[in-house]
Amino acid sequence: MSIELVVFDMAGTTVKDKNFVGIAFQQAMRSQGYEIAIENVNPLMGYEKPLAIKMMLEVRESDKSKITEELVDAIHTHFVNGMIEFYQTTTEIAPLPHVEETFDALREEGIQIALNTGFSRDIADVIVSRLGWEDKIDCLVASDEVPYGRPYPDMIRKIMAELGIGSADRIAKVGDTEVDINEGINAGCKYVIGITTGAFTREELLPYKPTHIIDDIAEVRGIISASHEMAVKG
């Protein structure tokens, strides 16, 4: 089967992230009195953000009765407001190398492009608007638009429904974290491609068993082309 859709993550996969997200997490946690080192934040990149906050609190708060929805909401609100302000004003927002060329080349071949993210939709919309990607992608789904974020397959299934993709065998998922890979596997995607431009190294991605690990997003085209050649020969 030929690939009809590639689902890309955002921060660290298609959008440059010099630990901007991790620093915003640190600041949001600090606003409620919790200190967390950046190296302890990075493994949680890719998760739905309220869930990542709960995971951090479970480790750092000995009194579990304090871990309430109100506390999580307060930290998440601080995070969201900080991220929106950052992405609205920063001069550093940029696509990672070869991302836009890869989007254009895949769409010229008739392959649809979707973005999904552990961000909420309000943050994701600001990023897409600042980068001028409205006409470069076919669909965007954020973690607060589905019942469960990564590693559950809900975002990919919503994209499939919106774009009319009948089988996950026709999808490649690309992301830089453990939960990107597990999301793709749980959705049944034909290719689950880890990329080393974000939070995880090649060695850190390997245990999660992606079908491929790449260092440059341009390599996605070669993987897709090989798939199409095999489909034609088949």
pLDDT grade for 228, boundaries at 50, 70 and 90: low
Q: Distance (Å, rounded) from C-alpha 182 to C-alpha 80?
A: 25
Catalytic site residues? 9, 49
Could you tell me the residue ranges of all domains in the chain? 5-17+94-233, 20-89
Q: What H or E segment, with its residue span, contains residue 175?
A: strand 171-175
pTM (whole model) above 0.85: yes
- Count of C-beta atoms within a 10 Å radius of residue 230: 11
Q: Check pLDDT > 70 for residue 233.
A: no
C-alpha gyration radius of the chain: 18
CATH architecture assignment, domain 20-89: Orthogonal Bundle (1.10)
Question: Looking at residue 136, what is its pLDDT?
Answer: 98
Phi, psi angles (nearest 5°) of residue 68: -105, 165
Q: Check pLDDT > 90 for residue 234.
A: no
Q: Distance (Å, rounded) from C-alpha 152 to C-alpha 61?
A: 26
Contact 132/99 with Cβ under 8 angstroms? no
Domain 5-17+94-233 is found in CATH 3.40.50.410: no
Diameter of the chain by CA atoms?
Answer: 61
pLDDT tens column, 114-131: 999 999 999 999 999 999
